[in-house]
Amino acid sequence: GQQVMQIPQYQHVQEGEDFTTYCNSSTTLSNIQWYKQRPGGHPVFLIQLVKSGEVKKQKRLTFQFGEAKKNSSLHITATQTTDVGTYFCAGTGGYQKVTFGTGTKLQVIP
Amino acid sequence: DGGITQSPKYLFRKEGQNVTLSCEQNLNHDAMYWYRQDPGQGLRLIYYSQIVNDFQKGDIAEGYSVSREKKESFPLTVTSAQKNPTAFYLCASKQGTYGYTFGSGTRLTVV
């Protein structure tokens, strides 16, 4: 079945450093979504990527969708303490099945 | 403001007991979902409904049941058949192919 792997599982960074999380699917995706879950909270939708090679930016966050539509990345420039949380990708594959990655937990050290 | 309301926030269940988690949305979304979240794992789909009076099993439906009698409501019952129910349960809705809107979740603990 469709599998979505996300790495790393955990990441600790000093405030001001950059951070990247990667998402890899076993199958080609029609789209990929990214969510952020603050500690003790619920996932909040950030963005959706649809096109091969697509790049979207939201302030310090840059999202990329791979050319083969099987991988994606989220890059945060100059992290802040407000970036703390777990970042999930969710890929839509065949039959519109959505599979969530296992998440990357980001800790920012002030 | 439109959104999804889940209740209760915390729920304690005794062995052999059925419990029902509430989920209500006022977003006028057609599709509603129940996900289970365990530490270190991604969200796993329990049940989903794309229209009133219809629902389908997700990847981990055993030990759970749902109903969708109204567009706004999608309650989840955790039955005594669910052997390991302690988890964080998230209800979500969406319209079309866009992103999910999640509720604030219910933390269920077996005592």
Span A80-102, pLDDT tens digits? 999 999 999 999 998 888 999 99
Instruction: Please give the pLDDT value at position B98.
Output: 84
The answer for residues whose C-beta is within 8 angstroms of residue A86's C-beta and 6 or more apart is A36, A37, A103, A104, A105, A106
Q: Find the helix or strand (DSSP H, E) in which A55 lies.
A: strand A55-58
Contact B42 A100 (CB under 8 A): yes
Contact B97 A31 (CB under 8 A): yes
Instruction: Please give the pLDDT value at position B30.
Output: 94
Report whether pLDDT(A34) > 90: yes
Q: Give which of A33, A42, A48, A87 to mutate to test B binding, by max B Cβ within 10 Å.
A: A42
Distance CA A74, CA B90 (A): 24
Q: Could you say which of B42, B98, B104 has the minimum Cβ distance to residue A102? A: B42
Minimal-distance CA residue of chain B relative to A49: B98
Contact B104 A42 (CB under 8 A): yes
Which residue has better confidence, B1 or B21? B21
Strand A4-7 versus strand A19-25 pairing type = antiparallel
Task: Number of A to B CB contacts under 8 A, please give it.
Answer: 45
Distance CA B41, CA B22 (A): 23
In this prediction, residue B1 has a pLDDT band, given cuts at 50, 70 and 90, of: low
Chain B stretch 30-89, residues whose beta carbon is closer than 8 A to a beta carbon of chain A: 35, 40-45
Instruction: Please give the pLDDT value at position B34.
Output: 98
Minimal-distance CA residue of chain B relative to A96: B97
SS3 content of chain B, % helix, strand, coil (to 5): 0, 50, 50
Q: pLDDT exceeding 90 applies to what percent of chain B?
A: 82
In this prediction, residue B87 has a pLDDT band, given cuts at 50, 70 and 90, of: very high
Mean pLDDT of B15-34: 95
Instruction: Please give the pLDDT value at position B96.
Output: 82
Minimal-distance CA residue of chain B relative to A8: B40
What average pLDDT does the structure give for chain B? 94
Contact A4 B103 (CB under 8 A): no
Mean pLDDT of B71-99: 93
Mean pLDDT of B9-18: 92
Q: What is the pLDDT of residues A43-70, one digit of tens each?
A: 999 999 999 999 999 999 999 999 999 9
Instruction: Please give the pLDDT value at position A75.
Output: 98
Mean pLDDT of B23-44: 93
Say yes or no: B99 contacts chain A, CB-CB below 8 A.
yes
Mean pLDDT of B71-90: 95
**Number of alpha carbons in the 13 Å side-chain half-sphere of residue B7:** 4
Instruction: Please give the pLDDT value at position A63.
Output: 98
Least confident of B12-16, B19-23, B54-58, B98-102: B12-16
Contact B43 A88 (CB under 8 A): yes
